[in-house]
């Protein structure tokens, strides 16, 4: 992005007076034809200002008039959308955005219209709407549902967790939470949410779709067949609105479980034909096709890039605001840039970023997209370890809302240059956004990418211990301790905090009790949880395993063996942690040869460091007997 673009941003955001803005809005024939009664309306508004009221006195007259106009246009747009006139709704939603691109209602209207068209740019408009009206839980729920539709599952979960306390008994919330959990392969939570939805609305037509999506990814082969059959039936006879999720679930099945890359690509092509293939999914489609036909995959990518760039270049020549399609392709190019950086294709990423059509994006109209590109260029310089260019680039100003990220990058440059002042800049970045959960999460994500684990953990625990949206810190801590850090012992306080917030969350209770039993600590709590969960659902495998482990710790070895015998051997063999417990139970019941044989089959690479230590100790002890 050019320096001129930044100057343009500052001019657009603060250079024009309210009167100039008002005059532009009230005289533009392209934006909105003034009704004949507009002068009377304006007189009434002025009268209201004079007569009184503190509310009107707190706003300029042009702002009130603009709000009034936007509200009327968006209301009319939504009425047309509900009546099925999508094109008419689209025209009015764009008109509302032209009236005031910083209006939450206008962005929400545009989000609903683009969602109906099946365009991923809806996510950008929902993001703007939520940022502009932070306390609007309805917007957050619609944002989450939209994110599920376009396969942005982490984004969906983040929005859902922010309104869990007030909406967890809402069928729409449960439906979106189920879809997000399935997309994140968090099957235990997905099943729990779906059960709650069935209790509330047993006739909800979406239940069959989500149950099938859940079953097709199950470890149970019979359930997988059942889910596959149900999804194929939905594609054959079900509502068209269900087709994208059905295709997406089947494509995932053929790329991850029943490996069939060609069929997986074919299903994604159908998604593209439906207009429901997001840019992220296009990229996934490319990666799969790359393993089958590398040259064909490259041709696809060139075609997609060319189409997106052409749309933006046509906009550039017309000197008009980005229209719906060009914005969609701008978002797509952003996804491509992220993807190329992920593959360390820095030169290609910079080529796209330096394209004039992207470089000239108006930051006043598209601040989120523009700001992301600012930081992506920073990322490209970091990949090249070109700290001199990055230092120069960071001298460019950025919207105040993102200043903390710029300061963090300044800290990274100083760290790489051996300057101890980097700590000061990092602390400034954190202090700048105290209490702002999403901004703190962005800093923690940066720190994790740089392997600054201490800084990331410090931020995540700040969020986790706060009263405002603690889940935004807790869930990343779970992923961190189970993922790159592989430290389940440190996971315990995270689960304790989650259970404090959600005492009825069976999955969290199960995980916490498992850790207590493994380390033989807080056993009274662990036994109590094991009894409660098994009583609640004696057929669910995790609860059977927990109850069996609990009985083993009590010395009830025979009972433990009977419980573990209920678990199919194929499940135990595929889960090294369960196999480790099973081996100990077998040994305690005198089946020493079977226990030794089972230990020998356990892949230590799939165990955390504590489990590896137990595995090695048991092998040494049993072989010496």
| Three-class secondary structure of residue 486 per DSSP | coil
H or E element, residue 228:
helix 221-237
Contact 366, 330 (CB under 8 A): yes
Residue 359: alpha-carbon gap to chain centroid: 27
Dist. CA 480–CA 447, nearest whole Å? 12
pLDDT of 487: 80
Q: Which long-range contacts (CB under 8 A, 24 or more apart) does 268-277 make?
A: 271/244, 271/247, 274/118, 274/243, 274/244, 274/247, 275/117, 275/118, 275/119, 276/118, 276/149, 276/150, 276/243, 276/244, 276/247
Contact 111, 121 (CB under 8 A): no
pLDDT of 411: 95
Contact 142, 353 (CB under 8 A): no
pLDDT of 40: 35
| Both structure tokens of 55 | 């509310």
Dist. CA 339–CA 393, nearest whole Å? 22
- In the chain, which residues have pLDDT < 50? 1-66, 315-327
pTM of the model: 0.49
Alpha carbon distances (Å) from 532 to 65, 525, 537, 565, 607: 60, 11, 9, 20, 27
In sequence order, the 6+-apart residues with CB closer than 8 A to the CB of 565 are none
Contact 440, 431 (CB under 8 A): no
Dist. CA 236–CA 305, nearest whole Å? 33
For 131-145, how does the pLDDT look when each residue is reduced to its tens digit (9 = 90+)? Answer: 888 889 999 999 999
| Both structure tokens of 397 | 């100003």
CB atoms within 10 A of CB 618: 18
């Amino acid at each position: 992005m050019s320096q001129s673009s930044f100057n343009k941003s500052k001019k657009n955001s603060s250079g024009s007076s309210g009167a100039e803005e008002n005059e532009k809005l009230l005289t533009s024939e392209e934006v909105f034809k003034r009704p004949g009664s507009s002068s009377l309306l304006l007189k009434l508004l002025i009268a209201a200002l004079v007569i009184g009221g503190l509310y009107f006195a707190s706003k300029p007259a042009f702002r009130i008039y603009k709000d009034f106009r936007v509200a009327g246009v968006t209301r009319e747009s939504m009425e047309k959308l509900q009546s099925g006139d999508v094109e008419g709704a689209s025209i009015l939603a764009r008109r509302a955005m032209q009236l005031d691109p910083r209006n939450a209602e206008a962005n929400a209207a545009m989000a609903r219209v683009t969602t109906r068209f099946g365009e991923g740019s809806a996510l950008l408009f929902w993001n703007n709407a939520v940022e502009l009206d932070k306390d609007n839980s309805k917007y957050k729920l619609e944002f989450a549902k939209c994110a599920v539709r376009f396969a942005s599952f982490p984004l969906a979960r983040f929005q859902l967790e922010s309104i869990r306390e007030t909406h967890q008994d809402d069928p729409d919330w449960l439906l979106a939470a189920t879809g997000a959990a399935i997309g994140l392969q968090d099957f235990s939570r997905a099943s729990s949410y779906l059960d709650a939805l069935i209790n509330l609305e047993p006739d909800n037509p979406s239940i069959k779709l989500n149950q099938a999506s859940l079953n097709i990814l199950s470890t149970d082969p019979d359930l997988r067949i059942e889910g596959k059959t149900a999804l194929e039936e939905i594609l054959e006879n079900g509502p068209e609105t269900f087709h994208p999720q059905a295709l997406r679930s089947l494509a995932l099945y053929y790329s991850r479980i029943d490996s069939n890359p060609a069929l997986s690509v074919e299903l994604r092509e159908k998604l593209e034909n439906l207009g429901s293939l997001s840019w992220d999914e296009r990229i996934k489609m490319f990666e799969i096709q790359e393993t089958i036909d590398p040259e064909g995959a490259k041709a696809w990518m060139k075609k997609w890039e060319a189409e997106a760039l052409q749309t933006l270049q046509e906009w550039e020549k017309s000197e008009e605001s980005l229209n719906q399609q060009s914005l969609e392709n701008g978002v797509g190019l952003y996804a491509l840039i992220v993807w190329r950086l992920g593959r360390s294709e820095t030169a290609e990423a910079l080529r796209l970023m330096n394209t004039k059509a992207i470089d000239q994006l108006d930051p006043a109209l598209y601040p989120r997209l523009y700001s992301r590109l600012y930081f992506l260029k920073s990322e490209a310089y970091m990949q090249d370890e070109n700290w001199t260019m990055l230092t120069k680039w960071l001298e460019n100003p950025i919207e105040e809302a993102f200043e903390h990220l710029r300061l963090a990058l300044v800290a990274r440059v100083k760290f790489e240059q051996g300057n101890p002042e980097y700590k000061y800049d990092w602390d400034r970045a954190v202090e700048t956004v105290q209490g702002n959960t999403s901004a703190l999460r962005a800093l923690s994500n940066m720190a994790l990418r740089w392997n600054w684990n201490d800084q990331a953990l410090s931020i995540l625990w700040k969020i986790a211990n706060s009263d405002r949206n603690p889940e935004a810190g807790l869930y990343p801590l779970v992923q961190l301790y189970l993922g790159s850090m592989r430290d389940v012992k440190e996971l315990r306080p995270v689960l304790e905090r989650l259970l404090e917030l959600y005492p009825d969350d069976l999955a969290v209770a199960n995980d916490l009790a498992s850790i207590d039993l493994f380390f033989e600590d807080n056993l009274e709590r662990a036994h109590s949880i094991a009894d409660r969960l098994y009583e609640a659902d004696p057929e669910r495998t995790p609860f059977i395993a927990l109850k069996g482990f609990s009985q083993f710790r009590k010395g009830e070895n025979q009972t433990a063996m009977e419980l573990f015998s209920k678990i199919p051997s194929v499940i135990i063999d595929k889960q090294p942690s369960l196999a480790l417990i099973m081996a100990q139970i077998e040994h305690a019941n005198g089946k020493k040869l079977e226990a030794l044989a089972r230990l020998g089959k356990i892949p230590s690479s799939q165990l955390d460091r504590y489990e590896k230590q137990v595995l090695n100790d048991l092998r040494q002890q049993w072989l010496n007997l």
